[in-house]
Structure formats: C-alpha cells, structure tokens
Amino acid sequence: MKIRYNEAMNITELIKYRKSVRSWADKPVDTETVEKIIDAARFAPSANNLQDWRVIAITESALRAKMVEIARGQKFVGEAPVILVICGDSSTGEMSCKMPRSVIDATILIDHITLIAAGEGLGTCWIGSFDQEACRKLLRIPGGWEVVELLPLGYPASPSPVNKPRKRVSEVLNWNLWDGSL
C-alpha cells in the first residue's frame, strides 16, 4: 500500500501505516522530496514558536559511512540514501515542567517528518543510539546545539512490514489517576 502525502486520507491510517525501516531500496531520494518533507514539517508546533531545531540532511556517501560508526555500527543507517540529523538549541532552556524545551520541540518535528515521509512512500527509523560528541564534531554543530536524533530516510526495500503487536488501550490509558481509581 503506497499512500501519497497530497491525497485526502485519514490521518489514523497514515499513523498505522508508518513503520521503522532498516532496509533500503537502491533508489535515491531527490532534493525536492527532502525539501518538501522539511517544508511541511517545519509547521510543527514548538514552545513559544521558537522553532529551536535545525535539520542536517546527509547525502554524501563518505559522510553516511562515517555516520555508521557514530551510530554504534548500525550499518543500515549509512545504507539509507539520506540521514537527517535533528538538532535542538539547548540554550532555549527548560519548560516550566522541567523538560528541555528543544528536545520536546525537536521530537514533535521528528514525528511530523516521519509521518510526512510515510505519506511520500518513504521510510524512516528513529536512532537514539549514537555518539553525541563525535556527531557534533563531524558535522561541525556549534556549541549550544545538541543532536536529538538521527533519522535515516529512504525508500523501503520491501513493502511495509506487518504491524508489530501493540498494547491494548486499557493498558496505556488511565482515567483521572495513574491506576484509574479514585
């Protein structure tokens, strides 16, 4: 099933369709498609509309190969035709709930990117296992900015995999109190 971003569709269907992809087709992702995805994703909400994130799109093969080392040997990361490196500006501080503003904002952006990419027939995979300092050094990321996630992007090698099991709503939703009792 291929869903296109510009078709009228149910957002719930797109959310259920999106999967983590770790095997890529030998097909490049053109610049226009990457820009289209980021153009739409940049409308993601951010605290005080700071938009305290930046995206580095890595397409150069030698750099992608170096990213495999940074991603702790996860070869599929470098096999993707594009690696999106999502950065947050840590100087924006914390929200009053004590959570880092830039990490939350970048995470919202990433979620938008993954859904828009799925709508374009592309796959992604959230990568949180990487060497922060090595990544910052390699990509010349300035002080005050942190890498929040790596996001390989490409056309899946095979059709969308079967859904992984999910917990029932009753296992993840509590009403009023943590245990649901009053």
Higher pLDDT, 160 or 136: 136
Condensed to tens digits (0 to 9), the pLDDT of residues 82-98 reads 999 999 999 999 999 99
- Using alpha carbons, select from 17, 10, 9, 8 the residue that is nearest to residue 117: 17
- Mean pLDDT of the chain, nearest integer: 92
Band of residue 25 on the pLDDT scale cut at 50, 70, 90: very high
Q: What pLDDT does 1 receive?
A: 40
Distance CA 158, CA 21 (A): 9
Condensed to tens digits (0 to 9), the pLDDT of residues 140-164 reads 999 999 999 999 999 999 876 667 8
Instruction: Report if pTM > 0.85.
Output: yes
* Overall fold of domain 24-156: NADH Oxidase (3.40.109)
Domain residue limits, the chain: 24-156
Q: Are 67 and 150 in contact (CB under 8 A)?
A: yes
Q: What pLDDT does 160 receive?
A: 66
Share of the chain above pLDDT 90, in %: 82
Q: What is the mean pLDDT of residues 157-181?
A: 85
